[in-house]
A = this chain, B = another copy of it.
Amino acid sequence: MEKKIRDEIENIILKDRIMTDLHELYSYSYDASFGEYLPEIVIQPKNAKEISELIKLANKYLIPVYPRGSATSLSGGSLPVKGGMVLDLTKLEKKLEIDKENLIAIVSPSVITAEVHKKAKEAGLFYPPDPSSSHVSTIGGNLLENSSGPKGLKYGTTKEYVIGLEVVTPAGDIIRTGGRTVKNVTGYDLTRLIVGSEGTLGIVTEVILRLIPKPQSVKTLVATFDKLVDSGQAITKILSSGILPSAMELMDNGCIRSVENYRPSNLPVNAEAMVIIEVDGHPLAVEEEIHKCEIICYKQGATDVKVAKDERERQEIWTARKMVSPAITQMGPTKISEDATVPRSKIPEMMKRLNQIKEKYQLNLVVFGHAGDGNLHPNIITDKRNVEEMKRVEKAVGEIFEAAISLGGTLSGEHGIGTLKAPYMEMELGEVGLLMMRKIKEAWDPNNIMNPGKIFPDRGQTKVVLT
């Protein structure tokens, strides 16, 4: 980086919040996805004003800007793929106010999502979105990727809880979108346009979240199925019986085995599927509903159903599910985690296709996910140093996306497009659909400085290149 530019940056930000040493830059070169890219400089701004000045400078010198929270992105959201300037937003001044009377929270994007859960709970309130990473990921990162976790079925996604933002635009202006009311139709919904935009349309500097009263009671069961297709039937029957569970999580045989292998806990290693079902709400309703779910599971062929009797047993059930990621990470040095999503009724068909892809390319592919949403997580465990295998992985990933789209689904349910899925955008959206998104990006960010290399494929790029 030229000294002149460096000097200008030092006029905006104190030196001790600027990093340019190689070992420092290296810590910012990767996220939880795939690939490593060194930035030129890492900056830790403290507030919107500093960010605004940095963005204006980036426009002046055409420097790519990469906003970054805890970098838990599984799609490459925070990778500085074109070098430039990483803005480490974890050092933004922290704010977390709960406004109990209006059922809202005012939060800075640097706050860890689990902190929002905790503070809301203390006020008798509830913030439902809960990605697996919520103990480490920032609320800002969750927002920009619209990552949501298991509660989407009953409670909707992160987007449904964001009603207002303060944003630094790609031109460096500070604007406010939405506000403190759930109902707001004053012009275009810029709030929801920015949520899920993966940092390509601006940098969020304050968030207004809608909260809801905390459900008074929660009950959980785990059901074991010899046949995967029976578990799909059980899920559908429960939903059409008038019950709306707060979570319906699926683990396939590969997952069950890998968890059991990682930490033996008597899981049914021969079952094709385990399903965790959770209901919440009024205690009387919850008691009756979990019992109904139990009966439906048995009627649909479950070999075993266990309803948690107390909070300890409930946590035990969730432990198996939460072990999935660490367990499969142990199975090989490289994990490719997808989130192709299909209409719920297509889950059995999608599982069949995933199995065919696994057999065809002889890969270690396991599947778990949020079955109630149709949001599956096929994970391929591989080794990026094995060039021959990576070529098979590449083909398999492409076929996973094709399968999801051909079943009426989508490339991404909650991880975002980032770098890995960009080449497949046109397959889902068509040429004009993608063009309409590009028009927004170009109108807002004509210099293409905000998180360049994400969402939009390079011209002619039609598949992901992992090797």
How far apart sit A373 and B180, CA to CA, in the bound complex (Å)?
Answer: 10
Are B189 and A152 in contact, CB atoms less than 8 angstroms apart? no
User: Which segment of A6-14, A17-25, A326-334, A410-418 sits at the interface?
Assistant: A410-418
Q: How far is the CB of A22 from chain B (nearest CB, A)?
A: 34
Residue A392 lies at the interface, judged by CB distance under 8 Å to chain B = no
Contact of A185 with B443 in the complex, beta carbons under 8 Å:
no
User: Which candidate, A98-106, A132-140, A256-264, A269-277, is the interface stretch facing chain B?
Assistant: A98-106
CB contacts (< 8 Å) of A409 on chain B: these are: 179-181
- Contacts A212-B244, A439-B443; A434 near B285 (Cβ below 8 A): no
Contact of A410 with B440 in the complex, beta carbons under 8 Å: no
CB neighbours of A284 from chain B (8 A): 282, 284-285, 288
Number of copies of this protein chain within its complex: 2
Contact at B432–A213, with CB atoms within 8 Å? no
Q: Is A192 an interface residue (CB 8 A)?
A: yes
User: A428's contact among B152, B169, B186, B192, by CB below 8 Å, is which?
Assistant: B186
Tell yes or no: A5 within 8 A of B by CB: no
| Residue pair A152, B182 in contact (C-beta under 8 Å) | yes
A227 to B419, CA, bound (A): 59
A460 interface residue (CB < 8 Å to B): no
Contacts of A214 in B (CB 8 A): 242
Closest to A75 in B: B185
- Let me know if A146 is at the binding interface, CB within 8 A: yes
A467 within 8 A of B: no
- Set of chain B residues within 8 Å of A152, measured between Cβ atoms: 182-183
Given A186-B417, A341-B184, A425-B187, A176–B430 Cβ distance below 8 Å?
yes
A344 near B374 (CB under 8 angstroms)? no
Closest to A176 in B: B433
Q: Which 9 A-B pairs have the closest CB atoms?
A: A282-B285, A183-B413, A443-B443, A284-B284, A101-B345, A439-B443, A192-B192, A180-B343, A173-B432
